[in-house]
Structures are given as C-alpha cells and as structure tokens.
Amino acid sequence: DGGGIRGLSELFILKRVMEEIQHKESLPEMPRPCDYFDMIGGSNTGGLFAIMLGRLRMSVEQAIASYKYLAEQVFFERKRFSFCHKFSARRLEAVMKDIVVEHDESQNKDALMRSDESALSECKTFVCATPLLNKQYPRLFRSYDVRADQDLNCTIWEAARATTAIPAFFNSIFIGDSVKEEFIDSGLDCNNPVMEVLEEARYLFGKRPVACIVSIGAGSFCSTCNATVLQCLLPSNLSQVLERLSAASEKVSKEMYNEKDGPREYFRFNMTPKLRENLLFEWQKTGDVESDTLRYLGEDAVKANIDKLRDILRARVLLR
C-alpha cells in the first residue's frame, strides 16, 4: 500500500518474513523477495518498494536503506511559498536516478522500467498511477510485456515519480515520447493494489492456481486519534483524504477475502493504530515506525501468520 514514511512498516514486516526463511533454510545471507515472489505490485510508497524489491532486485535491507536515504533527501524541507505543502519533485527524481545507478545492472540513470533483462526476470513488477484526464482507470507501469501497453514504456525514475505524485505533495509528471500524458498517483482507487496483483497474475499465468497473495499495509490513519501538534496543522481536507485512503485500503482487503476465485491463501499484514501518530512524511520518525512495527510483529496472531507464510514461500521455491 501507499503510506509515506509509515510505509517503512511494510518493509520491516517483509524483513521478518525473509529472516524466518533465512533461519529455517540456514542461509548465510537474508534471501531477496524477488527470489520468492512471482510478482510484486505497489502504489505510491508501496510502488517505490515494488520497484526496489522487484525491478531492481534489492534485498529488504537495501530497500530500507534506500528509502531512508530518499526520505532524508526529499522530505526534510518543504517547498517555500507553496500553499499545498509540496515537496520538490526534482529532488525526488534526482534521488531515484542515484538509486537506479547504484542498483540496476546497467548503471544507467535512465534505465527503462521494461527492459530485455526485466522481461526475463521471474519476479514481475508493476506500479500504479492515474492519467489526469482519465482518473477512472489507473494505469500500470510494468517491468514485463503485455499487449495493452506495448507502446507505453518509461524510465524507472519516471514510474517512481508517477506512482508517488500525490497532488498535495508533488507535481504531476508528463510521460511519453511523441505524445505526453500527465500522471498523478493512483489515489483512492488503487492505494491497496491487491486486486490489480490478482488480475495481473491471472493474465500472465493463466489458469495456474495462485498459491498465495501477500498484502502489506502502512498502518491506519485517523485524523482525530492521538493527533500531534504538526498533524493539527494539516489542512482538514488533507487529513480526511489520508483517512479515506486508509479506509479504502482496508475495504479492498476485505473484498479480497471474499473473492470467489482468489488465491488459496491470502495474508494481510497491517499495523495497529499506534502508527496513526506518525505523519506521512516525518522522516525523522523512522525509528518510531520500526519500534511500533516490532511490537506488532510480536503479536501471537501475526507471528502465526508469518510462520505460515514462510512455509508456503519455502515450498514454492522448492517446486520451481
């Protein structure tokens, strides 16, 4: 899911899953998610994580370090004279280019989201964004070929910019060669892209049964719960948007539980309300996010689900 700094909770949860696999398999290093998942999809902050873990094939620890670096560089200062609390899109672009150069095999800052190498990868990756002139239909930027977007390819950093372009925080981005199309983030329609993951899996893998789907949220948001002084300074309509995003993500999660032809196993991990105290872009509070997530991971029900997921993922890799 999307979630700003709170989204780090998603990586800490995934890290625990990878640690469990490492322990059970007696591996010298923590395994990478791209070696265990056939597909990773994300929106907004979750889109950045999907790019890092899937397209750039990072370990969870590398993704955590990269996102902390991005947050420190991008969110430490708001744009002056902006009534929309916007951050610098140029700074975000520059940081993403640095990350691509460091982690993509090509070491090219303009490496494409869909390349010959990414198309052959066993871990397919996509991120969600919305065309400004057609907001009803979120667009997917993929690392793999489908007929629907043969002509729509972009750089990795452009995909990252599009999926994170929340109008209240970042400018939109124009993507395209001869014809430029304007994109913003996927908003309420796709903040939790689990249905898109299922649809893409059906399209790519046909009638093969889906062993499991893992959906990871960034915690709840409540505009009136335990508000900090800074939260009180948020425009009321923005606070309401954040709360609606959180509610929309949980609504989609419940729909997946009721999906008739859904996966054999569906896991939803989402932080408890303690994380509501953290603002979307308070990059100084990453330590709070980690400690709150560790507390959540200590809950008996959560530990049981992680153990179950660990065993399913191990079995899937053995069958490959």
pLDDT in tens, 231-273: 433 444 555 666 777 777 878 888 887 776 777 899 999 987 6
Q: What is the mean pLDDT of residues 122-145?
A: 91
For residue 316, what pLDDT is reported? 74
Q: How far apart are the C-alpha atoms of 255 and 271, rounded to whole Å?
A: 19
CA 147 → CA 150, 175, 221, distances in Å? 5, 19, 38
pTM of the predicted protein model: 0.89
In terms of Cα–Cα distance, which of 5, 4, 10 is closest to 268? Answer: 10
Q: What is the mean pLDDT of residues 133-161?
A: 86
Q: How far apart are the C-alpha atoms of 236 and 249, rounded to whole Å?
A: 20
Q: How far apart are the C-alpha atoms of 36 and 315, rounded to whole Å?
A: 10
More confident residue, 286 or 34: 34
CB 128 within 8 A of CB 139: yes
More confident residue, 99 or 7: 99
pLDDT band at 33 (very low <50, low <70, confident <90, very high): very high
CB 164 within 8 A of CB 45: yes
What φ, ψ does residue 31 adopt, rounded to 5°? Answer: -70, 160
Find the helix or strand (DSSP H, E) in which 290 lies.
helix 286-297
pLDDT in tens, 2-12: 888 888 999 99
pLDDT in tens, 273-318: 654 444 555 666 778 888 889 999 999 999 999 999 999 999 876 6
How many domains does the chain divide into?
1
Q: What CATH number has the domain bearing residue 16?
A: 3.40.1090.10
Domain that holds residue 10: 4-319
Q: What angle do CA 298, 303, 308 make, to 5 degrees?
A: 170
Q: How far apart are the C-alpha atoms of 244 and 253, rounded to whole Å?
A: 14
Strands 181-184 and 173-175: antiparallel
Cα first-last separation, the chain: 28
Judge whether residue 200 has pLDDT over 70: yes
